[in-house]
Amino acid sequence: MIKAAIVGGTGYTGVELLRLLIGHPDVALEVITSRAEAGRRVDELFPNLRGHCDLSFSEPDDATLAACDVVFYATPHNVAMNSVPALLDAGARVIDLSADFRLRDADVWSHWYGEAHACPQVISRAVYGLPEMYREDIVGAQLVACPGCYPTSVQLGFYPLLAAGVVDTASLVANAASGVSGAGRQAKVDNLLSEASDNFKAYGVAGHRHLPEIEQGLTAMAGQPVELTFVPHLLPIVRGILATLYARLTADVDVQALYEEHYQDEPFVDVLPAGQQPQTRSVRGANHCRLAVTRPLGRDTVVVTVVEDNLVKGASGQAVQAMNIMFGLAETAGLDGIALLP
């Protein structure tokens, strides 16, 4: 059994990681930390875990964490980068669900997060945890930086087109919409039910932190600079992202075949038959990314629609998938739950 720890388990990625790790056949969850809730039973905060989890939150302690085989950070940005270096030195393997190690360039990180990076020298040791692109690197990684929820859907959606070099890389558009759980479990007026339900709006239009992460990934896929217009929106649902992607084709290609071939061996990317459209609820609680590719009226603009559960394939499920790869387990271990529909 792999001994696992979670740092910062009181948010939504935390409780989802708990759900997945508790149900994982090869994992023993040893520790879950929270400064704010130390001493409180986990199932008191998250009643869905009653009968499944006897742990209580504890104060974070490096020695205890380092004694585990793998440590997950389910914290806001700016936490992991301050304590991960010590853990790495102690030999622990770390999977960070936050933004701290996603950007390769510390200056870019500082620009978007408004502060200096705490350990720029560690960035290069981090592997970007998108298995569909970096599976081989994840195998031997000591530190994995899990992609953000929007970046996962947008990158997986554009990947086949960019790898094939069949679209104009200067005019990509990603119109994405996320459930409110993506904003976390913080008490903010904007995320109250009375504000966010029965409503829809764009946000971060002038520039969003996930843009540099996405462009970094798309550039790697394309092998050349990519310019993306990225507009996130807030959906009045709890879980789920739908990214609707637009690209101008520069070659006449069978896009359906291109996608089916590209993803034929991927356990968690599901290309729908032509004519079907993905729905966010079809992946609710599951680690799948489900997508469709369409050429409206047969014109030159291709539309890719991609859904994922932002808390699973967009966060905690992807982290478990990375863990499975790191430890040589079946990649789908603990991730074979069926989405809850309706």
Our CB check for a second copy shows the closer of 27 and 283 to be: 283
Of 317-336, binders to a second copy (CB under 8 A) are 336
Our CB check for a second copy shows the closer of 91 and 342 to be: 342
Binding span for a second copy by CB under 8 A among 56-64, 78-86, 218-226, 281-289:
281-289
What is the spatial distance between Cα 92 and Cα 284, in angstroms, rounded to a whole number?
32
Of 223-242, binders to a second copy (CB under 8 A) are 227, 229-231, 233, 235-240, 242
The verdict on 21 binding a second copy (CB under 8 A) reads no
Burial 10-45 (b: 16+ CB within 10 A, else e): bbbbbbbbbbbbbebeebebbbbbbeebeeeebbeb
Q: Which residues are the active-site residues? A: 149
**Residue 85, Cα to own-chain centre: how many angstroms?**
22
User: Site map for a second copy, 134-173, x if CB under 8 A?
Assistant: -------------------------------------x-x
Of 52-81, binders to a second copy (CB under 8 A) are 52
Binding span for a second copy by CB under 8 A among 70-78, 94-102, 140-148, 290-298:
290-298
* Residue 177, C-beta contacts closer than 8 angstroms, at least 6 positions apart: 200, 232, 233, 234, 235, 241, 242, 243
First to last CA, the chain: 34
Q: Report the greatest alpha carbon distance in the chain.
A: 61
**Three-state secondary structure call for residue 289:** strand
Tokens of 142: 């000591």
Of 246-265, binders to a second copy (CB under 8 A) are 246, 248
Our CB check for a second copy shows the closer of 49 and 326 to be: 49
Q: How many residues bind a second copy (CB under 8 A)?
A: 90
Our CB check for a second copy shows the closer of 124 and 229 to be: 229
Our CB check for a second copy shows the closer of 136 and 190 to be: 190
Binding span for a second copy by CB under 8 A among 56-64, 80-88, 111-119, 280-288:
280-288
User: Within 115-168, where are the H helices?
Assistant: 120-123, 131-139, 149-164
Of 170-199, binders to a second copy (CB under 8 A) are 171, 173, 175, 177, 179-181, 183, 185-189, 191-199
Q: Please, what sign has the CA dihedral across residues 74, 153, 28, 24?
A: positive
